[in-house]
Structure 1
Amino acid sequence: MTIALQDMAWHRSVGQLIEALDRPNFWAQLVRLLDQYVSFDSWVALQFSSGQRPQVFAESPAEDGSPDQLFQDYLKGLYLLDPFYVASRERSQSGLFRLAEVAPEHLELTEYYQRYFRLNVVADEIQFNCQIDQDRTLCLSLGSTQRFSAEQIALLSMIQPWVIALLRQRLPFELEAAASDADQLDTPLPMSNWRKQLEASAQHSRGAQLTARELDVGRLMLSGCSSKEIARKLAISAETVRVHKKHMYSKLGIKSQSELFSIFLQAQNA
């Protein structure tokens, strides 16, 4: 469906969105308008920041109204492997981003993809990113059980300037509402748990300690990066990546990425 300049309903809806910027139903109105032109099956509005868990401002309701356990696992620490989270931390910029643009080469082979992504998002995801400052990114993510078509992406790309502008204008109201939620604002980054769990496992298995570089290699492996991608991100050779992987597996007493992912999950639930 295309948007014509004379589409009065469209302009009326955008005007209503601007009026609703400070109201609780803002997110519902926004996704309802987007859904008239591009179909999707789930959505979430959240803020990524370095040093704390994502702040969730709104999300699509579950069919039975109960909390989504998979999404709770995501907030506990799986987000550290989310391609969109990783991309937002590596390059801070506003825009519309597709899964295919940010996903590591081996994403679909990872335990994260098999045990979380394909069950929760299913097929495809796109995300509007509004870069607030160097550290914070406000995001509106849309998930679909089918691949977004080129026409849908083109439409979303055309309207992204006003969507991102609305996100930026909405943020002060979200921060004001969340100011009293100290638990969410002050929750420490669970990467420390991940490091502690790996180090404890290495100590228990071999009485050895993992290096910072081995920890970085392990995290990037779990997110789906190939040895070549890890080498590029860490500015080392692919052979050095393989050596770090071999040493890490030996210290942990494991033989597969699946076992490494299990240690990661234990860390998030510790």
Structure 2
Amino acid sequence: MNLSLADMAWHRAIGQLIEELDCPGFWRSLVRVLGDYVPVDSWVAVMFSDGRPYSFAESPYEGESPDPLFHDYIQGLYLLDPFYIANREKPVSGLFRLAEVAPERFTQTEYYRLYFNQNVKEDEVHYNVPIDETRTLCLSLGSLSRFTPEHLALLELARPWVAGLMRQRLFFEAAVSEAPTRQPQRWQGDLEQAMERLGTPLTARELDVIRLILSGCSNKEVANKLDISAETVKVHRRHIYAKLNIKSQPELFALFLKAQAKA
């Protein structure tokens, strides 16, 4: 057997991670190992479920203090996260890149401008590990530059190791066993509850349209997801704007934030 120094370094690092599975700094150590091979500027280990995501660990922010932008994400912005939406629509195991899950107009959204572009910057990939029918363990890796095909190939090559370690780590995360279980397909209700706080009656279909619009879907994408025509989407949009007395998507996003703040 011929092993290179790089091979030996990788296997040594994996061995050390196995030793650290029950240690508080496990997630940081895992990201540090991956960071030796690809550029990682921000990261978070999070559990997606039918309700609010639960964060196990995240990249440090200004001397170990909590990241205020990520706090906003957990409080409600996650409802507009392409990775969260894609995972709730179809939870699957694998490595996923932002370009694979983001809607056509994602970079034109207020979510992108005020959160993603401030917190993640340029590119993001997710390791997804489904745990059961409602929960998926995710490791998000953000970068200030685009991940190259070589970077993605290395991350995919490491996926079996990373996924196995992530799954084993759950045995040492007390919050997993303490978290209440919820019924499938209720995650969209979080948006309904938030918008109800504004005191303006909106139909279930209008709420679906709002979520998709704010996440960056074009009228065509909204129509495809809801199995309606693009013209019907435009009618819904006009009705929504009229009910909320607004004229633009930024105003709609501001109302969304206001609704979350009242939670």
TM-score, scaled relative to structure 1? 0.89
Structure 1: distance between partners of 2:219 and 2:141: 30
Shift of 1:64: 2.6
Structure 2: distance between partners of 1:106 and 1:254: 20
Aligned to 1:53, what secondary structure does the other structure show?
Answer: coil
Deviates most, 58-67 or 4-13: 4-13
Matching residue's letter, 1:216: D
Q: Would the aligned equivalents of 1:95 and 1:130 in 2 still touch at CA under 8 Å?
A: yes
Shift of 1:53: 1.1
Aligned to 1:127, what secondary structure does the other structure show?
Answer: strand
Aligned to 1:39, what secondary structure does the other structure show?
Answer: coil
**Match of 2:53?**
54
Structure 1: distance between partners of 2:109 and 2:6: 47
Structure 1: distance between partners of 2:176 and 2:153: 34
Matching residue's letter, 2:43: W
**Match of 2:183?**
none
Deviates most, 15-24 or 154-163: 15-24
1:269 corresponds to 2:232: no
CA deviations on 1:148-193 (whole Å, 9 max, x unpaired) are: 111101110111111111111111211x2565688xxxxx974243
**Match of 2:217?**
225
Compared with structure 1, are the counterparts of its residues 18 and 216 closer, same or farther at alpha carbon in structure 2 (3 Å cutoff)? same
Structure 2: distance between partners of 1:236 and 1:178: 39
Structure 1: distance between partners of 2:44 and 2:177: 20
Structure 2: distance between partners of 1:96 and 1:226: 25
Q: Would the aligned equivalents of 2:43 and 2:140 in 1 still touch at CA under 8 Å?
A: yes
**Match of 2:38?**
38
Q: Would the aligned equivalents of 1:107 and 1:113 in 2 still touch at CA under 8 Å?
A: yes
**Match of 2:7?**
7
Shift of 1:197: 3.2
1:213 corresponds to 2:205: yes
Compared with structure 1, are the counterparts of its residues 9 and 26 closer, same or farther at alpha carbon in structure 2 (3 Å cutoff)? same
Structure 1 gaps of 5+ residues are 183-187, 203-208
Equivalent residues, number: 253
TM-score, scaled relative to structure 2? 0.91
Q: CA RMSD in A?
A: 1.9
1:11-160 equivalent positions in 2, closer than 5 A: 11-50=11-50, 52-160=51-159
Q: Would the aligned equivalents of 1:231 and 1:238 in 2 still touch at CA under 8 Å?
A: yes
Q: Would the aligned equivalents of 2:191 and 2:207 in 1 still touch at CA under 8 Å?
A: no
1:175-214 equivalent positions in 2, closer than 5 A: 176-177=174-175, 190-198=190-198, 200=199, 202=200, 209-214=201-206
**Match of 1:206?**
none
Aligned to 1:97, what secondary structure does the other structure show?
Answer: strand
Structure 2: distance between partners of 1:196 and 1:254: 16
Shift of 1:91: 0.9
Shift of 1:77: 0.1
CA deviations on 1:6-50 (whole Å, 9 max, x unpaired) are: 621211111111122122121121111111111110110010000
Compared with structure 1, are the counterparts of its residues 148 and 4 closer, same or farther at alpha carbon in structure 2 (3 Å cutoff)? farther
Aligned to 2:223, what secondary structure does the other structure show?
Answer: helix
Aligned to 1:122, what secondary structure does the other structure show?
Answer: coil
Compared with structure 1, are the counterparts of its residues 26 and 265 closer, same or farther at alpha carbon in structure 2 (3 Å cutoff)? same
Structure 1: distance between partners of 2:176 and 2:88: 22
Structure 2: distance between partners of 1:106 and 1:166: 35
Aligned to 2:197, what secondary structure does the other structure show?
Answer: helix
Aligned to 2:124, what secondary structure does the other structure show?
Answer: strand
Structure 2: distance between partners of 1:71 and 1:260: 21
Compared with structure 1, are the counterparts of its residues 105 and 164 closer, same or farther at alpha carbon in structure 2 (3 Å cutoff)? same
